[in-house]
Amino acid sequence: MRLQPIFDIAEICAWHGVHQAIACPGSRCAPLTLAFAGHEEITCRTISDERSAGFIALGIAQQSRMPAALVCTSGSAAYNFAPAVAEAFFQEIPLIIFTADRPKEWIDQLDGQTIRQENLFGRHVKKYYELPQDYDHQETAWHIHRVINEAILLSQEFPKGPVHINVPLREPLYPEVNKKIVFNKEIKKVATSKSDLVITKEELKNLSESLASFSKVLIVAGQQAYNSGLAKALEKFSKTNKAALTGDIISNFHSLKGNVRYADVFLASCGESIKQSLQPDLLITFGKSVISKHLKLFLRKYQPRHHWHLQPSGSAPDTFQSISRIIQTTPKAFFESLSTPPVIGKFEMQKKANYAQLWQAEEHRTTRTYQAYFNETDFTETNAVKALLESLPDRCNLHLANSMSVRYANLIGLSEKQKGIHVFANRGTSGIDGCTSTAVGHALASEVPNILLTGDLAFFYDRNAFWHNYLLPNVRVIVINNQGGVIFNLIDGPGNIPEQNEYFITHQKLSANHLANEFGFDYVKIDTSKHLKSSLKEFLKFDGKTKIMEICSNQKSAKQSFDTFKNHIKLSYES
């Protein structure tokens, strides 16, 4: 069969563990779609909106921790994958992107659905591959098989990420009538050997001696997926080495005892003398992005004498402008290898403990101020988010849309007891464009409850996340609707200029009720604390329905409550 090398792509993907595919409707991509849809080991779904499809595939890959395949037709369809591809690149999520294309001779000839697809995603994929456009020669089939193997393996090498495979296809694009697609089980598949990056004895001795010499050790955890083994190793390391630890809500270390959750809050208000006392001698970082603006500003101004960054390979981002050593190993291996108490005197160990206690003192001060603030306020956006976070199921995925939603959640945080809550957010590029679709991808790949906290702009922008034929009984969406982008009222710059209302805040009068009716979802509108408390239990009951809760607010009250909160923190340092 002429298209057999194309059909074989699905067999190679399945062998490598790529068991989930998203195919967008189109004719040029028909051979690819039929291959993925017809393979018994692959679950293939169709999503009409390519931008949404890209983020749904990203969510599937993130949840399954395996690459997902993404297929579209030729032309501008592929460009709509770009936001999700960029997010996958910076979040290090493996995607195998197949874009169907016209034969080369028809490029730039005004043929339908034809654009220049070579290197379409630029530097936001790990590698671009172009398949041959004629498949009759035996060596052509060998080349296609080799490229697919290589691309899938590359997507899973550190740092993981998307790869782009462009597939020129000649007509006819469909099998002959009554011709069944057959998958060649004997085609060549290429495996790779994986090994843990172990720290050598000599390097371990050097690191142990260096670590023991520092009195002020601070660990900053960036965004990463929950990893129970890493969490245990980090908790033991920080305890035995008396190191301070801070991590945003997206670091997924909220269950660790001693984790400083409110660094962004108190570093925004405390004085220079406190900041000087918190300056580390040694900074240890791992993971990806950090939400906290004030933590970043603090560490850039009060730089450590030494900064170790942990990652298995590759170049390291220098977020705090202070990297002095890149340790090429996994964070888990590092913390496990250095979790024995340092061989130092009691006085030196006490100095280490004193530094960690300084961070804890500011954490406790902020916690007390939080309690006073929430006791004095009634129905606000922050109160609503607090009530939601405290009511979450013991085991669920919490998805945080960008802009104020992720900031509110980071401001309030999760408790040590909420160990079964895994947090996700599109902080690779921090865009609002695919937050809902990503959560939908997670829901399609798992039966775990998926709860999305989002703002009105992010929610309505990504409404096509629901435009498909798949049930989402494990999805709950909480929309904070204040009729616009309230963040531009709160941050410096746009909040102080006359053009803010027309050009930055994006006022809108939409209601989530209409979308819920359109897609047949349950809907509840909330505008008082009493109604919120009485509704949360039923809303978070997973009874086979998709549910949307809309928290109704407005620009003025959102700004007032946020300013009041900041003043509470500020006054705690002035009293």
Note the pLDDT tens digit of each residue in 253-302.
999 999 999 999 999 999 999 999 999 999 999 999 999 999 999 999 99
Total number of domains in the chain: 3
d(CA 159, CA 75): 29
CA-based angle 73:78:79, to the nearest 5? 155
> Same domain for 330 and 209?
yes
Q: Which of 367, 396, 414 is the last residue of a domain?
A: 367
> Same domain for 422 and 515?
yes
3-state SS assignment for residue 144:
helix
> Same domain for 208 and 145?
no
What residues contact residue 254 under an 8 Å CB cut-off, 6+ apart? 247, 261, 413, 414, 415, 416, 418, 421, 423
- At residue 498, the pLDDT reads 61
> Same domain for 253 and 331?
yes
For the question of whether the overall pTM of this predicted structure is more than 0.85, the answer is yes
194 in a domain, yes or no? no
> Same domain for 538 and 390?
yes
> Same domain for 161 and 83?
yes
> Same domain for 228 and 117?
no
- For residue range 407-438, list pLDDT tens digits in order: 999 999 999 999 999 999 999 999 999 999 99
Give me the sheet containing 95-101, strands edge to edge. Answer: 43-46, 20-23, 68-72, 95-101, 163-168, 128-130
179 in a domain, yes or no? no
- At residue 489, the pLDDT reads 58
184 in a domain, yes or no? no
> Same domain for 484 and 427?
yes
What are 550's strand-pairing partners? 479, 525
Residue 229 belongs to what domain range? 201-367
173 in a domain, yes or no? no
Q: Following DSSP, what letter does each residue of 146-210 receive, concatenated?
A: HHHHHHHHHHHSSSP--EEEEEE-PSP-SPPTTPPP---TTS----------PPPHHHHHHHHHH
> Same domain for 384 and 525?
yes
515 in a domain, yes or no? yes
Q: Which of 306, 334, 367 is the last residue of a domain?
A: 367
- At residue 508, the pLDDT reads 74
> Same domain for 404 and 354?
no
Q: Which of 168, 184, 209 is the last residue of a domain?
A: 168
Whether the Cβ atoms of residue 418 and residue 392 lie closer than 8 Å to each other: yes
CATH code of the domain covering residue 270: 3.40.50.1220
569 in a domain, yes or no? no
207 in a domain, yes or no? yes
What are 59's strand-pairing partners? none
CATH code of the domain covering residue 473: 3.40.50.970
d(CA 297, CA 300): 5
- At residue 562, the pLDDT reads 83
Question: Dihedrals φ, ψ of 561, to 5°?
Answer: -65, -40
What residues contact residue 511 under an 8 Å CB cut-off, 6+ apart? 481, 525, 550
Handedness of CA 423, 426, 431, 433 (dihedral sign): negative
What residues contact residue 285 under an 8 Å CB cut-off, 6+ apart? 219, 220, 221, 222, 307, 308, 309, 310, 319, 320
> Same domain for 434 and 478?
yes
- At residue 569, the pLDDT reads 87
For the chain, which ranges sit under pLDDT 70? 195-196, 485-505, 575
> Same domain for 548 and 507?
yes
573 in a domain, yes or no? no
Burial zone of 159 (CB within 10 Å; 0-12 exposed, 13-18 middle, 19+ buried): middle
